Amino acid sequence: MKNITLKQLRYFEALARHGHFGQAAAASAISQPALSVQIKELERELGLPLFERSARRVALTGFGADFALRVRDILRAVDELGELAQASGDQMAGRLRIGVIPTIAPYLLPRLIGALTLSHPGLEVNIRETLTSRLLEELHSGRLDTAILALPVSEPGLQEASLFSEEFLLVRPQSDADNPVPGPAALSEMRLLLLEEGHCFRDQALSFCATRSAIGSDGLDGSTLSTLVQMVGAGIGVTLIPEMALPVETRSATVSTARFSGTPPSRRIGMVWRKTTPLADKLENIAQVVAEVGESLISEARTQPAMARHQA
C-alpha cells in the first residue's frame, strides 16, 4: 500500500460522493480521463474494485463502502492539520468554508462577507449554499468548517452557538392588507404557499399551523422565498417569510405584510462546527461577527413601515 496518495483518496471521495465521473472530475478540477486513471491505479494498488461501473451510474462496491468510511476519517484528519496551523495564529486567516441554508444566505451573506473582510482581512471565505441535511453531512465529512442554519440540530459531535432569533411574517395580497391577521387555525384553512420538501423553513412554517395535513398538497410548493412572494403578489395564496428577508423580498412585489400577535412563529439562527476542530476558538469569534450582522438586519426589518398586528 506504499503507493496510495492523498490526491487519489480525494478523487475517490469525490467519485463516491457524486456517483458520476464527470461531476466528480469537475468538483476535483481535473479532466474525467485523468480522474478515471487515478481511480484505476488506486484499485490496482488495493487489489479490489471500489466501484461498480455501468453506462448510467457508478456505485460503491461493498469493499468500496467500507473503504469510503476510512477515507473520510483520513481526509478529515488531514484537513484538521491545516486547521491546526490556522488556529495557531493570533487571528484567523486562510480559507474558511462556510455552509448556509437558502433561507438565510441571500439576506445575510452580502453584509456578512463585508463584515468578515473588515474584521479578518486575511480570511478567504468560501460559501456553500444548500439544505440543512447536506450541510450537516459535509460538515461531518470535513468538507465544511462551519455552517449557519436554524437551531437546534442536535447532532452528536457538533458544537452549536446560538446567534439571534427572528419572527416569521405573513405575506398576503395587497388587497388583504386591512383584513384581520389569521391565527394558526385560520391560516391552516388558507392556501398557504410553502418551500418544497427538504427545507427546514417549510417544517417551521407548518408547525405554526393547527394541522399539517393538506397544506402544500396542491402543487404550489416553491424552491425559493422569492418565488413564493411573487406568487402571493399574483393572488395565488399567502406565505410566511423570516424577518431578515422582508426588505429584499417585498421590494418588488405587490403584497402586504403583517406580524402575528401573541406568540409569533419564529426561528433561532446559529452556527455549528465539529467539536474536534482546532478552529473552535476562532469560530467563536466568527460567530460573534455573524450575530452582530444578523441582529442589525433584524433591527432594520423592524423599522419597516407599520404593519397590521390585529389577529382574528
How far is Cα 244 from Cα 299, in angstroms, rounded to an integer?
9
- pLDDT beyond 70 at 100: yes
**In 3D, which of 175, 177, 179, 142 has the Cα closest to residue 158?**
142
pLDDT single digits (tens) 167-198: 999 999 999 988 999 888 888 888 889 888 77
Structure confidence at residue 240 (pLDDT): 93
46 located within any domain: yes
More confident residue, 34 or 141: 34
Stretch among 75-79, 193-197, 271-275 having the lowest mean pLDDT: 75-79
Structure confidence at residue 85 (pLDDT): 62
184 located within any domain: yes
- The pLDDT of 269-280, averaged and rounded, is 91
Most confident range (mean pLDDT) of 57-66, 282-291, 297-306 is 282-291
**Same domain membership, residue 246 and residue 97:** no
**84, 114, 148: which is the final residue of a domain?**
84
188 located within any domain: yes
**Same domain membership, residue 77 and residue 48:** yes
Q: Is 173 helix (H, G, I), strand (E, B) or coil?
A: strand
**In 3D, which of 122, 119, 125 has the Cα closest to residue 105?**
125
Structure confidence at residue 92 (pLDDT): 64
244 located within any domain: yes
Could you tell me whether strands 94-100 and 123-129 are parallel, antiparallel, or unpaired per DSSP bridges?
A: parallel
Residues of the domain holding 117 = 92-164+267-301
- The pLDDT of 64-93, averaged and rounded, is 75
How far is Cα 87 from Cα 287, in angstroms, rounded to an integer?
15
**In 3D, which of 275, 192, 305, 204 has the Cα closest to residue 238?**
192
Structure confidence at residue 58 (pLDDT): 87
Structure confidence at residue 184 (pLDDT): 85
**Same domain membership, residue 203 and residue 133:** no
Q: Is residue 139 a contact partner of residue 158, using CB atoms and an 8 Å limit? A: yes
312 located within any domain: no
**Same domain membership, residue 79 and residue 33:** yes
- The pLDDT of 68-90, averaged and rounded, is 74
**65, 84, 103: which is the final residue of a domain?**
84
CATH code (residue 144): 3.40.190.10
Structure confidence at residue 52 (pLDDT): 87
Number of domains comprising the chain: 3
- The pLDDT of 97-103, averaged and rounded, is 95
**Same domain membership, residue 294 and residue 252:** no
- The pLDDT of 246-274, averaged and rounded, is 91
pLDDT single digits (tens) 121-156: 888 899 999 999 999 988 988 889 999 999 999 888
Structure confidence at residue 158 (pLDDT): 94
- pLDDT beyond 70 at 306: no
**Same domain membership, residue 252 and residue 196:** yes
Q: Is residue 19 a contact partner of residue 57, using CB atoms and an 8 Å limit? A: yes
308 located within any domain: no
131 located within any domain: yes
**Same domain membership, residue 117 and residue 184:** no
Peptide bond before residue 152 is cis, with ω within 30 degrees of 0: yes
**Same domain membership, residue 258 and residue 171:** yes
**Same domain membership, residue 277 and residue 157:** yes
pLDDT single digits (tens) 210-239: 544 444 445 467 889 999 999 999 999 999
Structure confidence at residue 97 (pLDDT): 92
Query: CB-hemisphere CA count at 13 Å for 112?
Result: 25
**Same domain membership, residue 271 and residue 156:** yes
> For the residues of 231-278, what is the DSSP string, one character each?
HHHTTS-BEEEEGGGHHHHTSSS-EEEE--SSS--EEEEEEEEETT-T
How far is Cα 65 from Cα 312, in angstroms, rounded to an integer?
55
CATH code (residue 22): 1.10.10.10
Neighbours of 243 (CB within 10 A): 26
**29, 53, 84: which is the final residue of a domain?**
84
309 located within any domain: no
- pLDDT beyond 50 at 241: yes
**Same domain membership, residue 79 and residue 153:** no
**Same domain membership, residue 116 and residue 173:** no
